């Protein structure tokens, strides 16, 4: 009888601890840990990349530091977790990150598996090719090889809408653009804002299709059902909009990478 009572006592402690842990929301856990883990790119300038010293830089990094400052009182209390386009959802679902800021375009398919906060950027697809190419439209790609980054909206768009176009795909942005530079394909499709910046740095190439598909938005993503973090981000973005934070972020991180014909209003979502 004593053993049964003791066993019941241990079980009560165990399940009580589990219950208390489950009642701790994501914001409280992060405050207890003293650090927030945010997924960003390491190879996608000017949005997320590593500089010559190995430090994280870019538009998403600028935003991530502000999130850490608002939540933990110190912009340095952020752990940057490098992700690739194809594993962003996986990193949220497996609790490897608390937030994804890796230039994550909001789509219905992704909304089914993660929760998106308010947007902070707008984007469409584009296509870049060597200067002097005969590529001016989608039709011109039908006898060409198109280079894509796995897990991107460009990958989804061409797979769904133009399966007749021959493609080659790579996991990392660096591999994708290296393939274009190495003449392994005739053109490359990606987010147009990224292509504008890349073409400026690579003057032998030009954005031959500036806008393709839908006009989409980029937003922070959190694990499905993480209501506490979602509310925190939405409230924060509303307040940041009031101080024109994202215009400041544009000036600090994006403007130097773009040509003069690109303005903050073309990229930033700020109401």
Q: Which of 191, 187, 78 lies closest to 126 in space, CA to CA? A: 191
Do 103 and 48 form a contact (C-beta atoms < 8 A)? Answer: yes
**Tokens 């300038």, residue?**
45
- The structural domains of the chain, ordered by start, are 29-120+219-266 (3.40.190.10), 123-216 (3.40.190.10)
Alpha carbon of 168 to those of 3, 74, 144: distances in Å? 65, 43, 11
Alpha helices in the chain (DSSP H): 2-22, 26-33, 59-72, 88-93, 108-111, 153-161, 173-181, 192-201, 227-242, 245-249, 264-267
What's the rounded Cα separation, in Å, for the pair 151 and 124?
15
The model carries a pTM of 0.80
Per-10-residue mean pLDDT for the chain, 271 residues long? 46 43 77 97 95 97 98 98 95 97 94 97 94 95 96 94 97 95 97 92 94 91 97 98 95 91 83 64
Q: Which of 68, 76, 75 lies closest to 30 in space, CA to CA? A: 68
Interior angle at CA 236, CA 235 and CA 239, nearest 5: 90
Do 234 and 118 form a contact (C-beta atoms < 8 A)? Answer: yes
> Can you give the pLDDT at residue 271?
64
Do 189 and 127 form a contact (C-beta atoms < 8 A)? Answer: yes
Q: Are strands 114-116 and 221-223 parallel, antiparallel or unpaired?
A: antiparallel
């Amino acid at each position: 009888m004593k053993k049964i009572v003791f066993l019941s006592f241990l079980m009560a402690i165990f399940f009580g601890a589990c219950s208390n842990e489950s009642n701790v929301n994501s914001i409280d856990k992060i405050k207890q840990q003293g650090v927030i883990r945010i997924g960003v790119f390491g190879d996608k300038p000017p949005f997320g990349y590593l500089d010559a010293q190995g430090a994280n830089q870019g538009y998403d990094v600028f935003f991530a530091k502000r999130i850490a400052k608002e939540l933990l009182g110190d912009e340095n209390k952020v752990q940057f977790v490098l992700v690739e386009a194809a594993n962003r959802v996986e990193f949220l679902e497996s609790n490897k990150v608390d937030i994804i800021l890796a230039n994550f375009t909001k789509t219905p398919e992704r909304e089914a598996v993660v929760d998106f906060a308010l947007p902070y950027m707008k984007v469409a697809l584009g296509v870049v090719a060597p200067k002097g190419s005969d590529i001016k439209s989608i039709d011109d790609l039908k006898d060409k090889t198109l280079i894509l980054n796995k897990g991107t909206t460009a990958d989804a768009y061409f797979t769904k809408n133009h399966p007749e176009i021959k493609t080659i795909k790579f996991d990392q942005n660096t591999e994708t653009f290296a393939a274009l530079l190495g003449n392994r394909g005739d053109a490359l499709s990606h987010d147009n804002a990224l292509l504008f910046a890349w073409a400026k740095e690579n003057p032998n190439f030009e954005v031959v299709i500036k806008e393709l598909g839908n006009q989409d938005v980029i937003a922070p993503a959190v694990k499905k059902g993480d209501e506490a973090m979602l509310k925190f981000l939405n409230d924060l973005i509303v307040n940041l909009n009031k101080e024109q934070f994202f215009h400041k972020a544009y000036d600090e991180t994006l403007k130097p990478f773009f040509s003069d014909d690109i303005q903050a209003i073309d990229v930033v979502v700020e109401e």
